[in-house]
Amino acid sequence: MSQRPWSSLERKIKKKPSTFGMVNAGKRSKCCFTCRKRRVKCDLQKPYCRRCTQAERPCPGYPDAWDVMLRVQNNYAESKVQLRVQKVRTQRTERIGREETTIPRGVHIPAEVHCWNRFYRDYAIHSGIALFNVLPRFYISSSSTCFQEALQAVALVSSARQLHQSGLMLRARQHYGKAITALNAALNDPVLTADDSVLVTLFLLSLFEMIIPEFLMSGLKDPVFRCHIHFEGALLLLQWRAERSRDSELDKSFLTFFSHICLMSMFLNYESAFDSKWLALERFAAPWVKGPLLEPILAQTVNFKRRTHAQVTMSHPPSRIEVIQLIKDGTAICENLKATATSVKSSSNLDLPLHLQPTAFNNMFEVSTKTTEAIVRCLYQTVRYHVVEVVSSLVTFVEDGDGAYHKPEYQFDPSLSSMILEQVCGEICAVLGLDSGHNMEQGEIGMAYRAYSIFWPLVVLLFSPLVGEEKRAWVQEKLRFIGEISGLGLATYAAGSFSTSHPAQQQAL
């Protein structure tokens, strides 16, 4: 059936007009005022409407032509403006609300910055070690290429071991290579060589190699200098600076650090030329070096070890009188070390700057916290154990010398070594936060510098023949955990080295 021609017109007529379309739709009426008020059709007769005249109604006339043409719409315009303003205000409020609740776009921060923050937390916060404490200042102020590359290398490698990130390890090795290149370039320039950052760079590179001990063990042929791969170069640099009147606190801190490293190596390594590093230090001369390299009690210990070594390596057996004198001297040194360890106290003035805090263990540590106090006591007790170990071997030599009984001319307690090891173990627990209900997970901040500081005592506990298997397993577990949470690869290496060490070395250590 075909559609009617007017159907579309009907739909348009029936279509409901919009509300907006009803407002002021059409022109203003030209009717007289009476007809408009009565809402009837006006015949528009002039001057008076015929409808009004016939009905005998007064006809007031018609509206002015201009009023018809230009309709007064003030109220309508005002309402439209108000609606428009309200709409703009609503949109603005909604936009501000979205801006406040929208997640901001991420800011890219280089991995080196994150790793430096972690490294600072691990090594430089209240470490008590002068060389660690100067790193933040150089990080902010130094623009030296070799220093910046070395710092990025050591920060990245520490985080790489902690987070098990091979990508960070790759970047760390790249920065390490750039640091070596920049260091060589700086050493060829007298002006750059004199900068303090070059000295700190050598320290950072040595720290890098302790975090990755594979560098230290596989890359160096000479076992004498294996404790510090940059020992000779750093000592030559110190000498070069001394000849040019460079006598900053950094130089003194560096020499103290090397003295500590060599002292530790002297007692832990048993090569025939065990003191070659120490002899190199003793030959070092500078105007600012006043007095011996070691504090009196540690100097006595080194001298005692040298005298004992000289007696043992003689072509003929030492006399009984000489050995007994060594026993007496060693026993006296043990008592002095005990008294020194007991007297160590941290500063009660917390507001005192770090460089004005009391120092101990050959000025290596600023004793400003209870943790540093425990570290220093632990180190003195460790040296004491080494001395007792030597005295014990001398006592065995005297008593087994000729097979005849001799009235003891000295006093020596054979159980003293075990007692000292227990004290060392107690101090280690205090340093690592393993006492008084604490655990190592709760004290991860600063774990790296704490582990670095007591690495010597931990190795002594690990290799001592007086330590039982249960205690040795405990030490290995702690060393592995320290290496995991602090990134100090030297701890992990030491934990795994006991099972692969030569039996003779285990017996010697």
Q: Dihedral (C-alpha) 447, 491, 477, 173: value to the nearest 10 degrees?
A: 90
Cα Dmax for the chain = 165
In a domain, 212, yes or no: no
Distance CA 350, CA 290 (A): 30
Burial of 178 (0-12, 13-18, 19+ CB in 10 A): middle
Non-local CB neighbours of 493 within 8 Å, separated by 6+ positions? 213, 214, 217, 483
- Of 352, 351, 268, 337, the closest CA to residue 296 belongs to 337
**Contact 383/267 with Cβ under 8 angstroms?**
yes
Q: Is 51 a domain residue?
A: yes
Which CATH number belongs to the domain containing residue 64 in this structure? 4.10.240.10
User: What pLDDT is stored for residue 508 in this prediction?
Assistant: 38
Q: Which of 155, 192, 185, 188 is nearest to 172 (CA)?
A: 155
- What contacts 10, CB < 8 A, 6 or more positions away? none
pLDDT at 108: 64
What does the pLDDT look like over 24-72, one tens digit per residue? 445 677 889 889 888 898 988 888 898 898 888 889 888 877 665 555 5
> Which residue in the block uniquely carries the two structure tokens 């030959």?
283
How many domains are contained in the chain? 1
pLDDT at residue number 265: 82
Residue 45 domain-assigned (yes or no): yes
Residue 42, in any domain of the structure: yes
Measured CA distances, 49 to 27, 44, 56, 67 (Å): 20, 6, 11, 19
What was the pLDDT predicted at 224? 44
In which domain, by residue range, is 34 found?
29-70
Output the tens digit of pLDDT for each of the chain's 509 residues. Answer: 445 554 554 554 444 444 444 444 456 778 898 898 888 989 888 888 988 988 888 898 888 776 655 555 556 677 777 888 888 888 888 777 666 555 556 556 677 788 888 888 888 777 778 778 888 788 777 778 999 999 999 999 999 988 888 889 999 999 999 999 999 999 999 888 888 889 889 889 888 888 887 655 554 444 444 455 677 788 888 888 888 877 778 888 888 888 888 888 888 765 444 567 777 788 887 777 877 888 999 999 988 988 888 887 777 777 888 888 899 999 999 999 999 999 998 876 766 666 677 889 998 998 888 888 999 999 999 999 999 999 998 888 887 765 554 556 777 888 899 999 999 999 999 898 876 555 444 456 788 888 889 999 999 999 898 988 999 999 999 888 888 888 888 888 888 876 555 443 443 33
The answer as to whether 57 is a domain residue is yes
Tens digits of per-residue pLDDT, 3-37? Answer: 555 455 455 444 444 444 444 445 677 889 889 88
Residues recorded for the chain: 509
What is the pTM for the complete model shown? 0.73
Residue at 43 is within a domain: yes
Is position 373 within any domain?
Answer: no
Report pLDDT for 46.
85
Could you give the 3-state DSSP secondary structure of residue 359? strand
Rounded distance between C-alpha atoms, residue 458 and residue 455, angstroms: 5
Query: What sign does the dihedral 133-137-138-139 (CA atoms) show?
Result: positive
Nearest one of 499, 15, 489, 405 to 210, comparing CA atoms: 489
pLDDT at 281: 81
CA 246 to chain centre: 30
Report if residue 236 sits inside a domain. Answer: no
